[in-house]
Structure 1
Amino acid sequence: MIGKILGNRYEIVEKIGGGGMALVYKARCRLLNRFVAIKILRSEFINDEEFINKFRRESQAAASLSHPNIVSIYDVGVEDNVYYIVMEYVNGKTLKQYIREQGKLSIEESLDIAIKIAEALSHAHENHIVHRDIKPHNILVTEDGRVKVTDFGIARAATASTVTNTSNVIGSVHYFSPEQARGGYTDEKSDIYSLGVVMYEMVTGRVPFQGDSPISVALKHIQEDIEPPSYFDSSISKSIESIIMKCVQKDQSLRYGNIELLLSDLKKVRDREEIDIEDNTIFYDSPTRIIPRIDDDLINSTVKEYDDVKKKNKKKVEDNEYEPEKKGTSKIVTITAILLAFILTLGFAGGFFWIRGQIQGKEVTVPSVVGLHRDVAEQQLLEKGLGFKVKNEVFSSNFKAGHIVEQSIDAGNTVKSGFPIEVTISKGEQEVDVPDVVNKHIDDAEAILDNHELKSSVKYIPSDIPKDYVISQTPDGASRVPAWSIVSLVVSQGPEIKYVVMPNVIGDNVEDAKKELTDLGLLVEIKEEENENVDKGIVIWQSFTANSEVEENTTVNLTVSKGIEADNNSNTGEGTGTVEEDVVYNNLTIILAKDKSEVEVKIYRIQDNERELVYNQTHNTNEESISVPVEGKKSAKYEVYFDGEFKGEI
C-alpha cells in the first residue's frame, strides 16, 4: 500500500499499526497538505456484504461526532475493493502500550484518563452511538497528555461473525461485557463495563481474567467474579475500587445507570469528595452461620426426640374421635409438631454448646503468621491453643511456595481458645510458557505475549528482514518464566540506510562522472541537451548539489552537452551575433524554517540589472531542506524569501 493514492487525494506514506479488523497507515492529504491516518479493512471482511453495509452506515454516523477526546473521522470510501476510513492523525501511543511501559499507572493519572474517556463516551451516547469495543488498544495518548478514543465506526459495525480466534483480536475479549460474550443485547452499559475493565488494568497493571483461549476468557466474564483491585494492590483506595466494581457488575441493571453518573463519581474522587456507592453485590449462597458441631451424641439424641414426638402424636390421633373430613387437618398438625420439635432440639443443642463455650472458652490473642512457612505457622497457632486450617492455595510473586499469604483473623484480635484460623498458602510464582514470536509482525507478537500473561520490551535495529518483524527474542520460545515477565524483542527497522557525499561532476566527461557516481553506490540516468557553449559529452547539470548527503542506490540525473548541431550557416560566417556570457546550471540547497508547519519559498534571479521570479512553491517544514534547480549567467545572484520575508542572497 505504500505510495498508493486513495480517492485521488490520500497518498499513503507508511504503516503505523494494525489490529484484527484493519491496518492503519499514515498518509498525506494532497488537497489540504496535512497528515491523516487511514484505516483499511482487512481483506477477509470485504466479501461480507452485511458487514460492509453496516460498516458504511456506522462510520458515517460516527463521523458526526465532534469532541476533543474523540478521534475525528474525515472521510469514508472504497476504491478497488479497498474499504477505508480517513481520520485525524494522532502522534502518540496506545493506552495499552503506555500501561506496558509503566507497569501500572498512578491513581491520579488513571482518574484523569478515565474521566477523559468517560467524557468522550458521554458525547457519543448523547448522539445514540455505542462504541462496543472500549479497550486500551483503541485509546490514544499523546506526549502532552491528551486522550483520544478511536474506532467508533469499526466497533459498531463489528458482529459476532467478525470475532475470530486470531492473535489480532484476542485483546478485545479481555474487555468484553458478559452480555457481549453471550451475544446478548448491548447498550451504553456495555461501554461502562469495558471502561471499568480498562480502569482495572490501569490501577493494577493486569486485566481481570486470563485464559488459554478467547472462549475461556469470555466464559470467565460470564461465570466468575472479578477479584477486587485491592487484592493485587492494597494501596488502592476504597472509593476507586467501589467505582470499578460497580462498573463491572455482571448484571447490567447493577452498573451505573448512565455514563454521566460514572463521570460524576470519578470527578468527585478526583476532587477528594466523598462518594456514596450502594453495594449491589448479589450473594447466591446463604450467609455464613455458626452452628454446633454435629457429633454422634447429638444425632442420637435428636433421633430419640423425634421418635418420642412421633409416638406421642400418633397416640393422640388414635385416642381422639376425629371426624373423617378432619383427618387432613390432623396430618398437618402432626407434621408441624414434628418439625417444631426438631428445630427446638437443634436450637437447644446449639445454645448449650454456645453457652458452654462462652463459660469455659479462654480468650486468645491471634498471632501474625503471614510470611511464615505453613509448618511454622501451624506450630505457633497450636501453641497458642488455636486451630489451623488451610482455606486456599494461590500463586504469589511476593511469597515463596508453602508460605502464608493471608490469615482469616488479623493479628492482634482475640478469639476463643480452639478457634480455627484459616490461612491462604502461596504456591509460589505462577510460571507460563513463552511462545515463539520470531518472524512475526510486532503487533501480532505483542498480542500473543499479552495473551500468555507476558510483557514485552522492543528494540529496533537495521536488518534485511522486513520492517517491523521480530528478529529474535529473550527468553526463547518454549521457556518457562514467571507470569508477566518481560520478553525482550529485537525488531527489524528495515535495511540500514547509508549515505554518501555527492561529488561535483559538472564539467566532467560523462563517462568519468558516471564511473565516479556508480563507485559510490549511486544510480545514474543521463539526458543529452544541445549547448553551443559546452563541448559534447561534458556534464552541464546534476540533480543533487555537490557536498549534499544522498542515500545509497539513489538515482542521480545528469544533463550532458550534445554540442551544437551543424547548420547551413556554419561555414558562411553568419552567426547569431555577439556570444553571450556562459549559462550556468546549478542547484540551490535551501534549509526550511522550523518555527511553522508550512512555508512559502520564493527565489528571485538578479541578472543584467533585471529581477525575475524563478521559483514559487509552498513546502511542509518536515522536509527540512529542499534542492532547487536554477540556471543563469555566472554573474547572476539569487534572493530567497520565506513567506515574503527576505532570508538572504546566494
Structure 2
Amino acid sequence: MMLEPGTLLGDRYEIIQKIGAGGMSIVYKAKCNRLQRFVAIKVLREEFAKDDEFVAKFRKEALSAASLSHPNIVGIYDVGSDHDLHYIVMELVEGRTLKEVIAEEGPFNSKVVLDYGVQMVSALRHAHRKKIIHRDIKPQNILITHDSVLKVTDFGIAKAVDSSTVVATGNAIGSVHYFSPEQAKGKYVNETSDLYSCGIVLFELATKKLPFEADSHISIALKHINEEMPHPSIYNPNIMPNLEKLILKATRKVQGERYQNADEMLKDMKGILLDPHYVIKEEEFDDHTILMSAEDTNYIRNNSYQSDKMNPIGETHIPRFETTMPPLQEEEPEEVSTFYKVLASIGGVLATLLLITILSVVLMFWLPSMGKGKEAIVPSFIGKTIDQAKSLAKSYNLKIEIVGEEPSNEATGTVAKQLPESGESVPTKTTIQLTLSSGKNGLITETPSQTQTTKVPYIEGETSVKAEQLLEAADLIPDISHEYDETVEKGKVISQNPKYGATVATGSAVQMVISRGPKVVLATVPDLKGATVQEAELKLRNVKLQLGSKKEEYNDTVEKGKIINQSVAVGSEVEEGSSIDVVVSKGKAEEETTPPTDGQNPSSPDGTQVPDNTPMVTKNFSISAPLDGGNKTSYHVFAKLVLEDGTTKVAYDAVVEKDNFPISIPLKGRGRGLLYTSFDGEEVYQDEINFNEVQ
C-alpha cells in the first residue's frame, strides 16, 4: 500500500513523497513536525508486516542498528509503528546510490576506489565492534553525498532476514551478485562475509563489471561457490597490482583465508594510499575451488523454488533444475542371422565382465573414502587469538579444544601449537587441539598492539569525516560525541582529547566533540486571527518570530484589515526567527463590486438577467469531512462562492478539527451561485446554491 502525501505517521512524521523501494520496504521523504527537519522513512511492505515473528526481528535489529553513530553510516533516528505500518526513521541523504555513480562515472582509478573503500570498511568496522553484521553490502545500499561522502544504509535490516530466508526473499535475490559463498549456502556468517561483499564492490568500482554473471540467480550463486575469482586486471589493466591483491584476498572462498576483520583490510588500503609499493602480507593458501555437497546443492535448489513463489518485486525468477531427455526414436527391427546373434551375446558377456572388473577396482578405492565422510584440510591456527581460531575452525567445519599453555615466541594468549598440524586432511567435525602461548620463558609478553605507539594528529576544526580519516590513518579509534556550539560550524570538531602531539598506544580511543551548530531555540506560534497587521507584528516580535508575507482576500465575516488565517497553526513550535505568513481580510466583496455601466442588469453565464432589486438572501450550507481522510486529524477548509452576477466571495477559510465536522457556514447572495470547497488545497468539490429557493 502506497502512502499518500500528507499522511501522518505516529502523529509526527508527515509523508511528502516516495523516493525509493526495495524488496522489503518502501522509502519516503517526510518531515518531522516536532523537530522541523526532513527525514527518510522506510516502511515495511504489507506482506512482511503480517508476519509477527518477522516484525519482531525487524524492530529488534533496527533498534540495535540505531546504536550506530558514524559519519559513514546513515543515522537511524526512530523506530515505530502506526496501526499495521511498521517504519524506521532515518537521516535523509541528498545524493545518489553508489550503483548509480558506478553506472554513470565508472570505472574509477585505483585512488578513488581505495578512498571509497576506506569509507565503506570504516563504517563496517564501527558496526562490527558493536556486534552488528550487515549481510547485504552492495552499491544499492551505499549512498554518496554531493561532497563524495559515502554512507552505508540498511544496517540491521538485512539481518532481520535470517539464514533460512537468505535466498528466498526478493531483496536477497537482488543481492546475489555480492553474496559470499557461505551466504549463498545459508551457512555461518561473520565479519568476513561483509568484507567479501566489500571486495566485490571494490571489484565493480575498479572495472564497472561484476565478477560473476549468468542467466539466472542460482547460476551466479553457484559461481560464487565453485569458480575462481577473476582478476580485476582482465577488465582494467591500469589497476594497481596491490589493490588487485587486496580484492582477491578479501574475496577468497574460505572465510579463514580472507581478512579476518575490518582493521586488517583498512590497514592495507591505507598502506596502498600512502605508498603505491606497499606490500600486502599474504599467507600461503591454495586458491581452491570448493566442491559443493549434496546438502548445499539441495539448499540452494530448495530456496530457488521458494523464490519462484515469493518474488515481491518482480525480479527474474530463479529457474528450477530440470532434466529433459529427448524421446528415444524406435528403430525398425531388422532380420539378424543366428551367427550374429550368438556373436552379439558373447560380446555382451565380455563387455559385462569388463565393466564389473572396472567397477571393482574403482569401488576398492572409493568405498573406504565414502566411509570416512567429508574431508577438510587443516588450516594453520598458529598466532591466532581464541576468537580468530573459533571463526577459522567454523569456516572449515572443524572444532577446537584448548588443551593447555606453554612458553613460546607467540604473543601471550595466542595459539602456539596445534594437533593435527596444518595441511593434514581430516574428516569434518574433527577436534583440533590447541595449546596457547604463555609468553617467552613462561613470562607474560605484551602483544604488538600494546607496544606500538603513535602520535595523535590535529583534528580540531576539521569536518567529522576528515577527522575520522586522520585518526584511522594513525591507527586510532574515534570516540564521537556531539554538542551545540555558537562559534564552530555544524559538523566540525570542537575539541579533542588527547591533544595534538600526544604519544599513545595504537588502537587507543581519541575523544572528539562534533558541533551541532548553534542551539536551536523553539518558539510557540501565537494566535493572530482577528488581529490587525500591526498587532500581529507585535505578538510575533514578543516571541522572537517575524511576520512573513501578507495576502489579501475578501471575507464576509472578518472585518477589513484584520487577519483571517495564518500559515502555521496556533501552538506549533518553530525555530526562533521563523516567518509566519498571514491572510488579511479586504472586507465584503459587495463593497467593491462595480455596477454595470451600460444601464443593464448583470446577467448569469447562461444569459439570464438578475434583477438588481432582488433582495440578498442568507442560506446555511453544511460541509462534511472527506470520506477518505485516512489518519488526518484536521483539515484546512477553503470555500469560495461565485454568484451568477460575477461576484466572488470567500465564504470560509479556517482549519477545522476532524471531530468538529460537519460545519455549517452562512452564504449570502441572490439568484444562483456555485460553491467551490477544498480540503488542504487538494480535493475540490462543486455545489450549486439557489438563493431563490426558500430554506
TM-score by length of 2: 0.43
Larger-gyration structure (1/2)? 1
TM-score by length of 1: 0.46
